[in-house]
Amino acid sequence: ASTTAHTENKESLLEKDRTYMWHHMSPYNPNPMIAAESKGAWVTDVEGNVYLDGMSGLWCVNIGYGRQELAEAAYEQLKTLAYFPLTQSHVPGIKLAEKISEWLGDEYRVFFSNSGSEANEVAFKIARQYHQQKGQPSRYKIVSRYRAYHGNSMGALAATGQGVRKHKYEPLAPGFLHVPPPYCYRCPFGKTYGSCNLECAEVYDQVINWECAETVAAVIMEPTITGGGVIVPPPEYLPKVREICDKHGVLLIIDEVICGVGRSGQKFGHQNFGVKPDIVTMAKGITSGYLPLSATAVRAGIADCFNEAGINQHFRHINTFGGNPAACALALKNMELIEEEGLIQRAEELGHALRAKLSVIEDHPNVGDIRSFGLICGIEMVENRETKEPAAPDKVAQVIGECKKRRMIIGKNGDTVPGFHNILTLAPPFSTTDEDLDFLVRVVKESFDTL
């Protein structure tokens, strides 16, 4: 139960919420959960109800809630040096950049921003300018994938491959195009994995040729599409795409905003596939969501072109709050604790256990496919397992509602049918205990049983 004394009752808070708050995403929500405090994998609302957060907030509270060490790292830094712009430098920024480079296993130079969207915008701008400075100014196109999510700003949203999220805000930034995702359950090429030719990877070669390679700056992808339905690629996919990028002189940007910082069972998601990206973007888990911070890590060989280029060709991009010292100090502490406590191995172990335990719903008539990547899991709901017709919205809503009744937060996304989400998502914190995991799976099972 809650230990915090709330001076206002829920009705009064809800009244003010309705008057003053504009919630993210959701249409008018008359009864939001009003969170008050959190610990481990659990969040308590203002009435004292305790929920297991099966989604780590928005896939971000990797280390788990309530870590005093993180609060203290930020507090100490705020007292010492609360702010300094990164046109110059500061100690926590330098140390964090070094740690990120170390985790990436190579020399990368790190540009700090505040959000995943901003980190991706930085990546696009660096990719375009890099080619200009290498004497190929015609390379500006960015190739992304349908179903991917890369952020909310005009460039990052242009890279996003979900029409329903975009169409009301178009025209977005020009120069972004998309290829079909490696979605084996509903292969866009009508193939079956094992007997296919990895058409989902080969399509990059075709598209880059058709577009004229000399107009293409970069490919951007997540190691696994998360927000578009937990679409896990075959193991050969990323290495093949890397090879195609190299063949055409195209940079490979890996968006690690969700998959990074241990979530995949490796330090970064792409490390599961043995590829080396040119640019890596990260956010969310870098501070475990405790403070805003994001990073764009650029391979030294690419970054050096900016140093050599002279004052008129420097990277003309500034961000007032990006790389705030307290956020950097907190992120460094977060990464150190994740290392010291073996939490990446724990995430991997939890991911395997979650997938294994979910076999209890595998034969349910409304479960079409269960996919997992590290501690990220997607349960694709269908009406009919033969035809794979996506489950009706009321069925998906029922499972989510039943989970909530049982005090467990589960997510959804997908857009298998435009605008409608039939894929349930789970990405609990690394602090989830074995008992928490049993509870989570029991709730999922009971909730499916109500259908």
411 binds ligand PMP (CB under 6 A): no
380 binds ligand PMP (CB under 6 A): no
Binding region for ligand PMP (CB under 6 A) out of 18-26, 92-100, 109-117, 359-367: 109-117
228 binds ligand PMP (CB under 6 A): no
Nearer to ligand PMP, 152 or 398 (CB): 152
117 binds ligand PMP (CB under 6 A): yes
116 binds ligand PMP (CB under 6 A): yes
Dist. CA 220–CA 203, nearest whole Å:
14
Nearer to ligand PMP, 257 or 382 (CB): 257
149 binds ligand PMP (CB under 6 A): yes
423 binds ligand PMP (CB under 6 A): no
Nearer to ligand PMP, 150 or 240 (CB): 150
- The interface with ligand PMP within residues 7-36 (CB under 6 A) comprises none
Dist. CA 44–CA 160, nearest whole Å:
33
CA 144 to chain centre: 15
415 binds ligand PMP (CB under 6 A): no
326 binds ligand PMP (CB under 6 A): no
150 binds ligand PMP (CB under 6 A): yes
Applying CB under 6 A, which of residues 62, 115, 224, 366 lies at the interface with ligand PMP? 115
323 binds ligand PMP (CB under 6 A): no
Nearer to ligand PMP, 281 or 366 (CB): 281
227 binds ligand PMP (CB under 6 A): yes
Residue 259 Cβ vs ligand PMP, minimum distance, rounded to whole Å? 8
Residue 166 Cβ vs ligand PMP, minimum distance, rounded to whole Å? 14
| Residue 418, CB-side half-sphere exposure with 13 Å CA sphere | 8
Binding mask 243-282 for ligand PMP (x = CB under 6 A): ------------x-xx------------------------
Applying CB under 6 A, which of residues 54, 151, 277, 428 lies at the interface with ligand PMP? 151
113 binds ligand PMP (CB under 6 A): no
Query: Site residues (CB under 6 A) for ligand PMP?
Result: 58, 115-117, 120, 149-152, 222, 226-227, 255, 257-258, 283
